[in-house]
Amino acid sequence: MGIKNFVHFEFQSLPENVSFARACVGAFASQLDCTLDDIEEIKLVVSEAVSNSIIHGYDNKPNQKIELTVTIHEDHSLEMIIKDYGKGIEDVEKAMEATYSSDPSRMGLGFTFMKSFTDEMDILSKPGDGTSVRLKRSFLKEHDALS
């Protein structure tokens, strides 16, 4: 399936950039035939993934790099890859469990939200090397599927 459009950008691991990242992806995703609710859900997913990179990947260190690639495919799907070069996740399965958090003061809802609002989620992580989260959501409408 071909690519219709993509953006790729990188930014510093600062909390200020979480809202920047989700606003950018929200604006880009609006090229798809989707509702405002869909956009809000996409923004939430980006917020969770970028927050995870800052908080867990980089332990809140501000001078690190996060890369974000967003692709609109010809099949009306939106794919997002959020990549950091932080400490990585020891046990990906465990990290994805609802309400698990490596930090007891946090709720561990990030991956639950990411999973709830996307159709596909893959996590590639290697301790010491970083984490890449790929999220994909289809916006294929019924009439598109039939035509």
Partner 1 sequence: MDIELKMIRNTLIIRLKGEFDMLQAEKIRRQIDDKLQEEQVHNLIFNLEKVSFVDSSGLGVIIGRYKKMKEKDGSMYIVGAQPVVEKILSLSGINKLVPLFKNEQQITKI
Residues that bind partner 1 (CB under 8 A): 15-16, 18-19, 22, 37, 40, 43-44, 47-48, 51, 54-55, 105-107, 109-110, 112-113, 116
Distance CA 34, CA 76 (A): 10
Among positive and negative, which fits the CA dihedral 17, 5, 33, 82?
negative
For residue 65, the SS3 value is strand
Q: Minimal distance in Å, beta carbon 24 to partner 1? A: 14
Closer of 73 and 133 to partner 1 (Cβ): 133
Q: Minimal distance in Å, beta carbon 45 to partner 1? A: 9
Amino acid at 87: K
Closer of 104 and 128 to partner 1 (Cβ): 104
Closer of 41 and 73 to partner 1 (Cβ): 41
Is 52 among the catalytic positions?
yes
Distance CA 56, CA 53 (A): 6
What number of other Cβ atoms are within 10 A of residue 35's Cβ? Answer: 9
